[in-house]
């Protein structure tokens, strides 16, 4: 269940490839077009090198880069679906694989900021999942908070796929939501710089363990003249152990064999540490069926729209002004 020898389709599983894509330096629409060409070329080349490949994953910002001066310009933004996703879809169809791609998506509401979006395209070239980042990385990112929830779709070899984006992976409730909806392979695409590398590794493992599901995570790699991006593609088993760990090399391809049926079996047959079940069935030894209400105040307050931390009124940073964003709301803060 590692990268050694992983070039063909495993029995009862599938082969995945995580691309530690070099961080793009994007200053124009022409640069974005070059990125799309590079992503498609990489997809074809990776499939040629790994004939059994069924899922390929590209990091957050691999299409449009992280040029903050361009983030909110019309030139920078794309539509989903649109010409960019059609090009990705054609490549997936030609190779007969699933692909995960990152798009900074124009908001259909002209008065609101864009979305940070991930899509999964199936082997027929069709978008089978669209996800908008639920938790933009405050206070740096200006993206409008996602409104599509945490969708799950069918994937290869009986897998159920979900995607989160970068900081979403630091929110354990999102991984739990994906698992609660049946996800057994949780994909995380990121554009983190090096300051949170250890936390990246930790949360990929904890999301897997808490929910008895595989996690597949990949980050941009390299230097963009401001930050260094750490790569560190990671495939984690449903028991929280790391099966494959990439390094900090741009263009490194992290591959691994994934067996969704094993995660499903653990969910059905484990007694000890089946915590995703135990959450809603507290103390079932003493109380047949268990207690479903854990009395968690934050859950009830969040559902009621009353979520507030005890120290919230004393917090220093609760908007994006430290990075120069206006605090007035509306389209791009205007």
Residue 50 in tokens: 């790994």
The predicted pLDDT at position 246 comes to 93
At a CB cut-off of 8 Å and minimum separation 6, what does 14 contact?
54, 55, 155, 156, 157, 159, 257, 258, 260
Catalytic, 9? Answer no
Please indicate whether residue 60 is annotated as part of the active site.
Answer: yes
For residue 95, tell me if it sits in a domain: yes
Nearest-CA neighbor of 126 among 165, 98, 156, 158? 98
Q: How many domains does the chain have?
A: 1
Q: Is residue 320 one of the residues assigned to a domain?
A: no
CATH number at residue 165: 3.60.110.10
Q: Is residue 73 part of a domain?
A: yes
By residue count, the chain amounts to 334
Contact 136, 167 (CB under 8 A): yes
- Which of these, 85, 81, 115, lies nearest to 101 by C-alpha position? 85
Token pair 């290869």 is at which residue?
A: 156
Pairwise CA distance, residues 179 & 164, whole Å: 12
The answer to whether residue 307 is domain-embedded is no
Catalytic residue among 166, 177, 183, 257: 166
pLDDT at 324: 87
What is the structure's pLDDT at 7? 83
- Segment-wise mean pLDDT, segments of 10 residues, the chain, 334 residues: 69 96 95 97 97 98 93 93 98 98 96 96 98 96 97 98 98 98 98 92 98 98 92 96 94 96 97 94 96 94 96 94 84 57
Residue 26 lies in a domain: yes
Residue 248 counted as domain residue = yes
The first and second tokens of residue 169, run together, are 């992976």
Strand order in the sheet with 242-245: 153-154, 160-165, 185-190, 214-219, 234-236, 242-245
User: Would residue 166 show up in a list of annotated catalytic residues for this protein?
Assistant: yes
pTM of the predicted structure, to 2 decimals: 0.96
pLDDT for 331 equals 62
Check 47, 70, 133, 160 and give the catalytic one: 133
* Any domain includes 2: no
- The verdict on residue 135 lying in a domain is yes
Catalytic residue among 60, 84, 95, 257: 60
Print the domain residue range for 221: 14-273
**pLDDT number for residue 71:** 87
- Closest CA relative to residue 126, chosen from 146, 162, 103, 99: 99
């Amino acid at each position: 269940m590692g990268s050694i020898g992983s070039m063909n389709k495993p029995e009862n599983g599938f082969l995945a490839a995580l691309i530690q894509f070099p961080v793009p330096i994007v200053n124009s629409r022409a640069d974005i077009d070059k990125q799309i060409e590079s992503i498609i070329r990489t997809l074809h080349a990776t499939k040629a090198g790994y004939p059994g490949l069924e899922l390929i994953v590209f990091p957050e910002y691999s299409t449009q880069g992280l040029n903050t001066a361009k983030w909110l310009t019309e030139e920078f933004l794309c539509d989903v679906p649109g010409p960019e996703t059609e090009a990705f879809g054609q490549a997936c169809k030609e190779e007969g694989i699933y692909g995960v791609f990152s798009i900074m998506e124009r908001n259909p509401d002209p008065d609101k900021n864009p979305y940070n979006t991930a899509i999964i395209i199936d082997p027929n070239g069709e978008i089978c999942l669209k996800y908008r980042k639920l938790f933009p990385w405050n206070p740096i990112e200006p993206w409008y908070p996602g409104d599509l929830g945490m969708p799950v779709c069918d994937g290869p070899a009986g897998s159920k796929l979900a995607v989160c984006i970068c900081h979403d992976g630091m929110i354990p409730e999102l991984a739990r939501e994906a698992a609660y909806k049946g996800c057994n392979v949780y994909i995380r695409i990121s554009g983190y710089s090096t300051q949170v590398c250890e936390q990246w590794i930790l949360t990929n493992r904890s999301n897997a363990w808490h929910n008895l599901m595989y996690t597949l995570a990949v980050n941009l790699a390299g230097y963009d003249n401001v930050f260094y991006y750490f790569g560190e593609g990671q495939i984690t088993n449903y028991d929280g152990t790391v099966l494959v760990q990439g390094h900090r090399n741009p263009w490194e391809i992290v591959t691994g064999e994934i067996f969704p049926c094993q995660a499903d079996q653990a969910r059905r047959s484990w007694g000890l540490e089946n915590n995703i079940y135990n959450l809603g069935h507290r103390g079932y030894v003493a109380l047949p069926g268990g207690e479903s209400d854990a009395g968690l105040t934050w859950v009830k307050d969040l559902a009621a729209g009353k979520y507030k931390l005890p120290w919230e009124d004393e917090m220093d940073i609760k908007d994006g002004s430290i990075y120069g964003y206006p605090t007035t709301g509306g389209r791009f803060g205007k």
